[in-house]
Amino acid sequence: MMRRSIALCMTALSLALVATAGTGADAQPGSTPAAAVEDPLFTQPYIDIDEWRDAPVRHRYVHGGFKGTETRFSFYFPDKKQYQGRFFQHITPVPDDENLAQKLTDGEENYIGFSIASGGYYVETNGGGRDQVGMPGKPNDFTIAAYRANAASARYSRVVAQQMYGGKRPYGYAFGGSGGGFRTVGSIENTTGVWDGVVPYVLGSPMAPPNMFSVRMRAMRVLNDKFPQILDAVEPGGSGDPYAGLTPQQASVLREVTAMGFPTPSWFGWKTMGIHGFAALYGGMVMADAGYFTDFWTKPGYLGHDDPKSFEGYRLQHDATIAAPISAAQAADLKLDTRITDGAANVDNAFAALQGRAAQRIVAFRLSSPPPKTYFVGGDLIVGSGAAQGKRLTINRIVGDVVILGVVDDAVVDLLKAGDKVRVDNSNFLAAETYHWHQVPPADAGYPVWDQFRGADGKPLYPQRPFLLGPLFTAATTGKPMGQPPMTGQFQGKMILVENLWDREAMPWQGDWYRQRVIAAQGAGADQNFRIWFTDHALHGDSSKQEDPTRTVSYLGVLEQALRDLSAWVEKGVTPPANTAYRIDNGQVIVPADAAARGGIQPVASVTANGGAKAVVKPGAAVTFRATVSVPPGTGRIVSAEWDFDGSGAFAGKAKLPGGSGNSLTLTTRHSFTAPGTYFPALRIASERKGDAAAPYARIQNLGRVRVVVQ
């Protein structure tokens, strides 16, 4: 999943759709041209900033928008000598800010630098404006945020580019991840002639929200104190049996979440990953299917009714009064963590921007008494008196007697005053844990991970809700009309889909789900227009900074190379590397161990310690590490290899690479450990298409890990 838009409002789903996009024609940069347009909403483009800048690289910055709308854009043009007739456009998970790229100027996160180094200019927009997010109670035309605002800006960028450079129509390529992946797919499926190709990444399926989070939430609670032994079993040199030592209930929950596609090694983040995108989805879920949360506790067939004892010690219903509101500025002074999710601004937490930035905004409340300490990942503050009586506000976390708010309506927050009665209640969040049981899609819809919830007769084991919620959510994000599939696989242009094998938000099998839609829609022509590449040891977030660099790598290099390969495919007919070879077994995407057999574009590292996946040695004894490193044929050469022996993630041991290595090389080194303990030495490698070790972009990483026990 996804950090997808919360354009979930059911009212919005009934709005008429306008399936047109863009604006175009010739115009003078710096002026407001009279241009022929295809979308009647975007008829009056304007430019309010037009200047040359030197950072992060030399470029001409053009900022503007469209009169009568909240749509804003930023264009970043290189010098003419660097321009090769194309542009790259990032589509954010939710409507955001048109100046994000100016804040991300380091290394591979520098999209402006990457675009210019790749012969293009860079386009970004605010997606139509923050008001297009579609919060519950704020109906809007979700086609604007889904694709129309981005398409209009892309078309107008060509007007400015052709005036600046002359020549032919620039080629255009869009890319977006998580919710931006949905919007990217919707953009190319809903338009023609705007983008010549796209690279969606960490893409979910129409059944992803909220089901990919609900199944994870139950596992987080039931397996909370068992994750260390589960992880130990699946780490290199482990037993390979994560179910050993679990109770029947715990084993059942682990089997369920694994069969739904959660990558077992990715549980290493169990302490920090939280509920992620569910924080943004929850409000729309309650609005769309409020009856579920009552039925869960009161009707047969629902776990809350059938087995209430399984929630003993977890259900929290605490009555108190408001002691004082806490503003964002006060929360900062108190060092309260008010983020909806952890991490930098990327696809993992783009929706967190919905909290706003005003220092005086109320982000928390101090209560008259602290709720009892229990396992808590989210809940509601139910107002029992005062101007907001009967309203609910989502609670993100509890710190002592302070409740920190999640995605909420500021107008309701402002109504609460000291002395108002409230209840802290996590009943809905507990009920959400098995929502996916009651969302079984049709057997022929391509979702075999839900077969575990069917009986021998093929019918669902549990009562089903009146409708499937996920397709309604994703229809809003992709801009498809009610009654039409949110994603069809039918598009004009070319696409490279980038998915990650350790993605715990957009379960990896969902990439194959979309691939099957492309094959069904395009038949024999699918391979002429589509690729799917899986990245090993990569999570959901598009950040160069990793939570644990000894376990995971950034996939930004894969994304950047995909964009370059896409442009060569479109413009010159250069066939990109083949699809990653894979199979799906019980919800898990399995790839070959060998780089040549695996395909795609990621290198592979296989590491041994004293000849095995695990070495047991005495303190001070030297351990021999051997690594076989290879790249898929035709995808480049290894340009760096770094050892990390102490688990710090510093990778201070720089390996010397042999010359003329071709597609494969072998590395050996020795290291000794003085203190007893269990270590997981890691080798991080990177390849680059031309073998350029100094290249700042499109460096494709992977890891190899082993276990060393010193006793």
Helix and strand numbers, DSSP H then E, in the chain: 18, 27
Residue 701 has pLDDT above 50, yes or no: yes
User: Can you tell me the distance from the alpha carbon of 509 to that of 584, in angstroms, rounded to the nearest whole number?
Assistant: 7
Q: What percent of the chain has pLDDT over 90?
A: 84
Strands 120-125 and 72-77: antiparallel
Q: What percent of the chain has pLDDT over 70?
A: 91
Residue 25 has pLDDT above 60, yes or no: no
pLDDT tens track for 440-451: 999 999 999 999
pLDDT tens track for 505-548: 999 999 999 999 999 999 988 999 999 999 999 999 999 999 99
In the structure encoding, which two tokens stand for residue 660, read together? 């003329």
What's the one-letter identity of residue 383? Answer: V
HSE (side-chain half, CA atoms, 13 Å) at 5: 39
Residue 689 has pLDDT above 90, yes or no: yes
| pLDDT-based confidence at residue 24 (cuts at 50, 70, 90) | very low
- Give me the helices (H) in 503-555, please: 509-522, 526-529
In the structure encoding, which two tokens stand for residue 282, read together? 């929850």
Distances (CA, A) of 532 to 176, 300, 486, 487: 15, 43, 19, 16
Model pLDDT, residue 481: 85
User: Can you tell me the distance from the alpha carbon of 408 to that of 400, in angstroms, rounded to the nearest whole number?
Assistant: 21
User: Can you tell me the distance from the alpha carbon of 135 to that of 354, in angstroms, rounded to the nearest whole number?
Assistant: 10
pLDDT tens track for 411-436: 999 999 999 999 999 999 999 999 99
Evaluated on CA atoms 543, 545, 546, 547, the torsion sign reads negative
Examine residue 325 and say whether the peptide bond preceding it is cis (omega within 30 degrees of 0): no
* 3-class DSSP state of 122: strand
User: Can you tell me the distance from the alpha carbon of 337 to that of 331, in angstroms, rounded to the nearest whole number?
Assistant: 8
Across residues 229-254, what is the average pLDDT? 97
Model pLDDT, residue 5: 30
